[in-house]
């Protein structure tokens, strides 16, 4: 049995990837994914194309495309029916700008003939991000920023189409965000409980009014409840590392159940799982080195530049932590100058220690999008120091731990505010034996927050490593320039977490369908009796 799902504000499709991979008696069919960013739309379209084939039966040409051996046109021209269906299921649109009648038409056709369906999505969240607010609060007009109320576009869909279940994701900062002196989160919950009444009159006039305007109960995926009003705002928070995701990603995720099906109490939450580390998922990937911003690609020249920068910095003579100094010297001596900087496709490596069945696809014969960035030689020395410090001390150093010679000259790194340095963790290594820190869209700008834990590689994470930490399968390909690939990954819901959410929704829907059958049987018996 297939239940349609529509994903709005879809990004590259982390949420819908999790739902699409949820198997069993009831499966989810991603009937429509809506996104306004061109590169994310292309990623969604390619993944929708991949899903047109049975599991394990994607064409060889798909893998050739991922390996950069054929063009997109060659792939799509060979399978016109499948790409046509993928395009029908992928819509590039800004819900705030597109004609409401077109939205009604596209979504109505996507769920036509189905009693039950699921709405997925997370409205853009920059205004709710804690870092985003700290930066934007200085800007004139921040209090009126429209991104505070983008969730209302999601609300319109809920109000007009009344999905049986919806899943809405947002950043942790939404719990404390304020708009015009009012806390945002209680208002969002109130609106979602009675979506039609919460719409402004102008919005209602543009939407088809349902025959019966239903309300919703808003439950948590992580906290059982006797009723949704018994939940506190923090109860809606999902700490991903507690559920087998190798990343300390904390997000608010709401489970809305239409009131004609909502239970009085809810206990079918996501089960906690063993904590995974960075080593569990990126250990064993092909070792590569960074490159120099000067475009030098020769391994011996790169190593010579690193050694020169290290000795000219004076850090070795001034560093008081002998264990870190020794680790830096040993790491430089251990660097293999034959290492390359990787590429759009890299062969080699071994299967990850954990989640191998989830990540690996033997037909790939390697890893796509595993290419290092180029860095300035002073940053190579900083990366070497940060990675070695992390190996020695088990934590990444703050700027206050840096030798003076390695302190960056950025104003944001040296400016003091209330006795503290802004962005004290501007350079941060991931630690092998811990979950990663939150993978964010900032990766598109630089990799300073995501330094590889192996100092002999002396680099920031690649697109594929970031994708692994976000639990995207290795055969999931991201379109666009590298910066936009990082942006897509950082903005996504981890697909494996989404899969666990989908399993909760799956059980709910199976119960609802059984309930429908019982009701209909009673009606039929009543009709026969009369």
Q: Which of the residues are catalytic?
A: 125
526 CB neighbour count, 10 Å cutoff: 9
- Token readout for 196 is 């039609």
Contact (Cβ atoms closer than 8 angstroms) between residue 118 and residue 501:
no
What does the alpha-carbon distance between residue 451 and residue 445 come to, in Å, rounded to a whole number?
14
Greatest CA separation found in the chain? 97
Which H/E stretch holds residue 92? strand 90-92
DSSP state of 208: P
Q: For residue 375, give the 3-state DSSP assignment.
A: strand
Nearest to 493 by CA among 282, 129, 249: 249
40 CB neighbour count, 10 Å cutoff: 27
Question: What sections of 67-126 are H helices per DSSP?
Answer: 72-78, 80-88, 100-111
Q: How many helices (H) and strands (E) does the chain have?
A: 21, 16
With a CB cutoff of 8 Å and minimum separation 6, the contacts of 183 are: 176, 177
Contact (Cβ atoms closer than 8 angstroms) between residue 295 and residue 374:
yes
Which H/E stretch holds residue 50? helix 38-50
Contact (Cβ atoms closer than 8 angstroms) between residue 122 and residue 497:
no
What does the alpha-carbon distance between residue 460 and residue 42 come to, in Å, rounded to a whole number?
26
Residue 341: HSE in the Cβ half-sphere, 13 Å Cα cutoff: 20
Alpha carbon of 447 to those of 318, 385, 467, 487: distances in Å?
26, 15, 14, 12
What does the alpha-carbon distance between residue 391 and residue 4 come to, in Å, rounded to a whole number?
47
The sign of the torsion formed by the CA atoms of 259, 261, 265, 267 equals negative
What does the alpha-carbon distance between residue 244 and residue 235 come to, in Å, rounded to a whole number?
19
Alpha carbon of 96 to those of 44, 88, 116: distances in Å?
20, 21, 26
Angle of helix 184-193 versus helix 151-161 axis, rounded to 10: 10
Q: Which long-range contacts (CB under 8 A, 24 or more apart) does 437-441 make?
A: 437/247, 437/248, 438/247, 438/248, 438/249, 438/250, 439/247, 439/249, 439/466, 439/469, 439/470, 439/489, 439/490, 440/490, 441/486, 441/487, 441/489, 441/490, 441/491
């Amino acid at each position: 049995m297939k239940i349609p799902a529509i994903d709005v504000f879809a990004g590259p499709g982390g949420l819908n990837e999790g739902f699409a991979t949820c198997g069993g008696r009831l499966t989810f069919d991603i009937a429509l994914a809506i996104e306004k960013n061109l590169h994310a739309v292309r990623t969604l379209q390619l993944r929708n194309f991949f899903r047109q084939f049975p599991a394990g039966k994607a064409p060889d040409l798909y893998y050739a495309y991922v390996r950069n051996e054929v063009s997109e046109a060659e792939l799509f021209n060979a399978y016109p029916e499948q790409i046509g269906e993928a395009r029908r299921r992928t819509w590039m649109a800004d819900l705030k700008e597109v004609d409401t009648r077109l939205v009604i038409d596209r979504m109505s056709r996507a769920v036509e003939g189905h009693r039950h369906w699921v709405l997925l999505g997370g409205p853009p969240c920059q205004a709710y991000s804690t870092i985003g607010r700290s930066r934007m609060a200085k800007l004139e007009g921040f209090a009126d920023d429209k991104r505070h109320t983008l969730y209302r576009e999601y609300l319109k869909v809920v109000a007009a189409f009344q999905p049986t279940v919806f899943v809405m994701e947002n950043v942790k900062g939404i719990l404390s965000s304020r708009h015009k002196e009012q806390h945002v989160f209680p208002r969002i919950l109130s609106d979602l409980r009675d979506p039609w009444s919460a719409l402004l009159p102008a919005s209602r006039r543009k939407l088809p009014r349902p025959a019966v305007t239903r309300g919703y109960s808003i439950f948590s995926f992580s906290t059982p409840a006797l009723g949704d009003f018994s939940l506190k705002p923090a109860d809606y928070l999902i700490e991903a590392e507690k559920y087998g995701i190798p990343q300390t990603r904390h997000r608010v995720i709401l489970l809305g159940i239409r009131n004609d099906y909502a239970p009085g109490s809810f206990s079918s939450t996501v089960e906690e799982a063993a904590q995974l580390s960075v080593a569990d998922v990126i250990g064993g990937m092909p070792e590569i080195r960074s490159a120099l911003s000067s475009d030098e690609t020769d391994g011996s020249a790169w190593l010579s530049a690193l050694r020169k920068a290290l000795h000219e910095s004076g850090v070795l003579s001034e560093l008081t932590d002998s264990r870190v100094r020794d680790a830096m010297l040993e790491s430089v001596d251990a660097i293999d100058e034959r290492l390359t900087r990787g590429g759009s496709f890299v062969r080699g490596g071994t299967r990850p220690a954990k989640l191998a069945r989830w990540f690996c696809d033997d037909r790939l014969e390697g890893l796509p999008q595993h290419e290092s960035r180029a860095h300035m030689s002073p940053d190579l020395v900083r990366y070497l120091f940060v990675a070695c410090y992390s190996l020695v001390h088990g934590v990444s150093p703050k700027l206050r731990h840096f030798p003076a010679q390695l302190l960056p000259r950025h104003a944001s790194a040296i400016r003091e505010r209330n006795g503290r340095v802004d962005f004290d963790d501007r350079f941060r290594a991931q630690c092998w034996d811990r979950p990663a820190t939150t993978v964010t869209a900032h990766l598109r700008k630089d990799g300073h927050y995501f330094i590889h834990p192996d100092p002999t590689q002396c680099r920031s994470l690649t697109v594929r490593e970031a994708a692994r930490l976000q639990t995207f399968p290795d055969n999931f390909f991201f379109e666009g320039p590298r910066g936009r690939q990082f942006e897509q990954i950082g903005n996504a819901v981890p697909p494996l977490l989404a899969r666990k959410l989908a399993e909760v929704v799956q059980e709910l829907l199976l119960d609802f369908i059984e309930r429908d059958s019982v009701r209909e049987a009673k009606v039929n018996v009543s009709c026969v009796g009369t």
